[in-house]
Amino acid sequence: MKQNKKPIKIAIISPIFPNKKNPVSGIFVRQQSKYIAREGHDVTILTTGTKDDKKEEIIDGVPVYRLSNTNLSPVKSLFFSLKCIKMINYLNKKSRVDVIIQNFVGISTIIIGIASKIQKKKFVVISHGTSWELPKDNFFKNAIIRLALSVPDVVVCVSRKTAELLSQNTNQKKLIVINNGIDPETLNPTISNAFLRKKLGLGNKIVLLSVCNLVQKKGIDAIINALAKALKTNSNLEYIIIGDGPEKNNLMELSKKLGMEGHIRFLGVKTGDELSNYYNLCDIFIMMSRDINNEIESFGIAYIEASYFGKPVIAGKSGGTEDAVVNNKTGFIVNSEDEERLIRKIKLLAGSKKLRNKLGNAGRSRVVKGFFWKHNVENLISELSKLKTR
């Protein structure tokens, strides 16, 4: 991509960012900022951290300022926003801000947005489809959402579904869709499948893999229930779950109740090369994303990562999964409540290496052509350049 003649100076605000205690929290912010910097633009991150993190450091060539502790309460979120405004004012005096980008929509969007107007800076917010900004059955709540969405110059939506939902409370012309991406530099297996299979004692089993936070909307319980029935006619299945979260104990209890302990492994959080080894190992990637408690799967980066490794995907029908997975081409999209169809798709893929390869190869080709962070950044910088001329 050709660089703009003049670099854009960008301040990115995010309440989450990789830290010492949680190296995967907000990893997408780190990866996106890395590729923005590589395009020659001036990027600064304003975020949170733990007591073990440095208050100021350079990560991937990007200055990172940790202005507050993680796990922001509503009150702490307000103070974090005020600290961000103060820091932007400081950066502005050093001529380091043209555009302010905020990750996640909330009350803070109103506060930071007003401050950006006062400082005469362009303001962009990225909607990750969290429950806060989705339409509500409540006039007052929708009025607050409309106010928040009215402040930014542009609202970037990570999927078409997110944009569709947000259009109920703002002008559709303000919304643009730019899918999230993956960083191929962080996805490099370090050991062979044969070695890892031997280490885990998998033999010739068909391995299914999920990588996610263990929360209800990921639908891991639906997968466990379906597998319990699929195993009655196909005992050659092994399910590996990578991740942690509030549902972990419930899921372990469910697998025990169904007599699945010998077919399910909870391996905790894996990152970097180690995570890549498991993506590379699996035969099928599966995650039953679903709408629950006003939450949706905004996009589903894990689906794209699995496709990058040439793996067929079984995805739950929720939010932006239709942007991440092409039904019947790179995998299958299944309603998480349709257990019989889920079982059929598991059996279909488990029984056909040819089909697994066909879907997996199509998925990898699609990702390589358009779902790296460099592709995301190309689209984002194009939109920011348009803003600067307004």
Comparing C-alpha atoms, which of 219, 222, 360 is closest to residue 285? 360
pLDDT tens, position by position, 312-361? 999 999 999 999 999 999 999 999 999 999 999 999 999 999 999 999 99
Contact 159, 178 (CB under 8 A): no
pLDDT tens, position by position, 87-97? 999 999 888 89
Q: How many residues does the chain have?
A: 390
pLDDT at 3 over 60: no
pTM to 2 decimals? Answer: 0.93
Q: Is the dihedral of CA 378, 22, 269, 300 positive or negative?
A: negative
pLDDT tens, position by position, 199-234? 999 999 999 999 999 999 999 999 999 999 999 999
Q: Is the dihedral of CA 144, 148, 150, 154 positive or negative?
A: negative
